[in-house]
Amino acid sequence: METAKAPGKIILFGEHAVVYGYPGIAVPVKNAEIEVSVSHSDYFSYETDRELYKEEKECLNELVDLIFFQLEVDKKELHIKIKSTIPIASGMGSSAALAVALIKGIAEHFDILLTEKKINEIAFESEKLFHGTPSGIDNTVVTYGKPVYFYDGEMQLLKLKKPIYLVIANTGIKSSTKEVVSGVRQRYERYKEEYSALFDKIGEITEKAKTAFENGEIEQLGELMDKNHALLQQIDVSCKELDELVETAKLAGALGAKLAGAGKGGNIVALVDESSKDKVIEALKKISKNVIYTEIKP
């Protein structure tokens, strides 16, 4: 039996502004992952650790067919077991992680050697099944397991000078990325000058964050996260639950905290150090049922 894993991901800087041509930064979340086991069987089958809706089953079948096609092997007698610790519909890249783990597991089963570049290419094709016209961000972060700076369709792997410690907490509210992005678009069209200025500021913050990443300026990163959250509040994509989680993390000693992803629900991400992480995790667990701690190392 072959086993493969792939991490989740989270946007750290630049959400919403990226839609209007500004840069963004996304990072892997290795403590939230999908694990795929592939073994011989008398017929093709799969099992998951949660019940799938009809549409999800159809999409999973299409995904497996696509991977077999891309790997140029016949869909043979296999049993695939899927386990996930990535919250569904939370903006943490669960579809990209599923694709990457399946690609790795099936390729290993057939003794096919793949470069990370090839895995990323197949995962990008797979993402089209889920998102139609994906940006390529999720599959790139998940495949390489490294922070990614993205701007104008180009991706750059970020080199860290120091480890980054993050705590992610979920509001328990599922929000539609499509609906939230559409709402921002409507307000942008109505208040173009005001929103353009806000996006300019978010873009500047993301550029400064890239430099802080590369120079190991951890406290600066925290301050930039706080500023980014304030701007996301101004474009009306936060909510009281997100703000409460951000405030709780800050009061517990986080260096910085912000909503992560589309907003109106979903997650916040807090930057901590080794002295504050336990207090922040404990505080967030009191108001969130899903708290994840993760480290990103150079």
Q: Judge whether 138 counts as a catalytic residue.
A: yes
Burial of 71 (0-12, 13-18, 19+ CB in 10 A): middle
Q: How far apart are CA 205 and CA 52, in angstroms?
A: 39
Supply the DSSP string of the chain, one letter for each residue. Answer: -EEEEEEEEEEEE-TTGGGGT--EEEEEEEEEEEEEEEEE-SS-EEEESSPPPHHHHHHHHHHHHHHHHHHT----SEEEEEEE-SPTTSSS-HHHHHHHHHHHHHHHHTT----HHHHHHHHHHHHHHHHSS--SHHHHHHHHTS-EEEETTEEEEPPPSS-EEEEEEE-S----HHHHHHHHHHHHHHSHHHHHHHHHHHHHHHHHHHHHHHHT-HHHHHHHHHHHHHHHHHTT---HHHHHHHHHHHHTT-SEEEEESS-SSSEEEEEE-TTTHHHHHHHHHTT-S-EEEEEE--
Distance CA(48)–CA(52), nearest Å, equals 8
Tokens read off for 190: 């109505």
Catalytic residue (one of 138, 152, 273, 278): 138
Which tokens in the block code for residue 293? Answer: 């701690």
Active site residues: 138
